[in-house]
Amino acid sequence: MKVIVPIRPGYGNSTPLPKKQPPNDIIAEDLDELLAHLEVGKFPFLTLGADIYYALNFHRLHPGRVTAAIVTGGYFPLESSEQYERMAKWHRFILASARYTPHLLPFMVKAGFLLARRLGKRKFVHAVFGTSPADVATFENPEVYEAMVCGSEVCLSETHSAHNAFAAEALLQERTDWSHLIEGARDTLPFYCLSGLQDPQVPKETLREFQAKFPWIKFTDFEDCGQLVFFKKWPEIIPLIEKYL
């Protein structure tokens, strides 16, 4: 199995996005170039959280290439203020700002990144996921801790902060209704969503609303997981991925 983790524009040492240009199609074309370079034709797309947006947009632009969409800690377009109000405070602070006060979001994200640098990643993760005992426990697994701290260097390090790219992506996903991308996968793409019922961003009530809106997606719930469901349930997820290689 080959695992490919693309670094999106504005993260790590990648080139920033052009000003005033939405990241969705640029990211899709970057990925297409990367896959061509690696000689990869068809592949299953595993995502965390709202990154399913990029998998589905790639599927729209390059039909037939993605063999399955597998989203963990799934997050789909929100339809009401109640869905934001249910979130834990950190997630609500950023995502509701993207939806309702977009002009403030870049400053709020920058402040959040600076706070993470000051607190250190362990304390910051504990603060963000404090309402989810399952996520805190998962993060404290030594292997998960190492993966998340090392992996997050492309987002926040001593020399780099991807707050501008993060804010641009949050605005794109919260200010547009991308349900059409999800509907575009109906009957064309095996679609799985694995969710933890302790997810601070998608609590149980919101998850049930997603399930009612998209009944053709194959949802699986885990009582003992939160948003970091992949990092805990990966032994069950890998065989699912293998079906679509």
* Per-residue model confidence (pLDDT) at position 229: 97
Q: Give 23 or 243, the one with higher predicted confidence.
A: 243
Query: In 3-state terms, the chain is what percent helix, strand and coil (to 5)?
Result: 55, 10, 35
Spatial separation of the C-alpha atoms in residues 85 and 91, rounded to whole Å = 10
189: three-class secondary structure by DSSP: coil
Spatial separation of the C-alpha atoms in residues 193 and 240, rounded to whole Å = 11
C-alpha angle 24-27-32 in degrees, rounded to nearest 5: 125
- What rounded mean pLDDT belongs to the chain? 93
Spatial separation of the C-alpha atoms in residues 146 and 166, rounded to whole Å = 22
Q: Averaged over 151-170, what is the pLDDT?
A: 90
Which amino acid, 210? F
* Per-residue model confidence (pLDDT) at position 29: 93
* Per-residue model confidence (pLDDT) at position 188: 93
Question: Given pLDDT bands bounded at 50, 70 and 90, which one contains residue 63?
Answer: very high
Question: Given pLDDT bands bounded at 50, 70 and 90, which one contains residue 158?
Answer: confident
* Per-residue model confidence (pLDDT) at position 93: 93
Question: Given pLDDT bands bounded at 50, 70 and 90, which one contains residue 65?
Answer: very high
Q: What percent of the chain has pLDDT over 90?
A: 81
Provide the b/e sequence for 126-139 (b: ≥16 CB within 10 Å): eebbebbebbbbbb
Which amino acid, 136? V
Q: What is the pLDDT of residues 103-146, one digit of tens each?
A: 999 999 999 999 998 989 899 999 999 999 999 999 999 999 99
Given a cut of 80, whether residue 19 has pLDDT beyond it is no
* Per-residue model confidence (pLDDT) at position 23: 82
Q: Residue 175: how many CB atoms within 10 A of its CB? A: 12
Residue 193's H or E segment, with its range, is strand 191-196
* Per-residue model confidence (pLDDT) at position 199: 97
Structure-block tokens of residue 9: 């524009």
Provide the b/e sequence for 17-31 (b: ≥16 CB within 10 Å): beeeeebbeebbebb
Question: Given pLDDT bands bounded at 50, 70 and 90, which one contains residue 18?
Answer: confident
Q: Averaged over 207-219, what is the pLDDT?
A: 97
* Per-residue model confidence (pLDDT) at position 145: 93
- Least confident range from 6-15, 28-37, 90-99, 208-217: namely 6-15
Please say whether the beta carbons of 105 and 178 come within 8 A. Answer: no
Given a cut of 80, whether residue 20 has pLDDT beyond it is no
Q: What is the 3-state secondary structure (H, E, C) of 64-77?
A: CCEEEEEEECCCCC
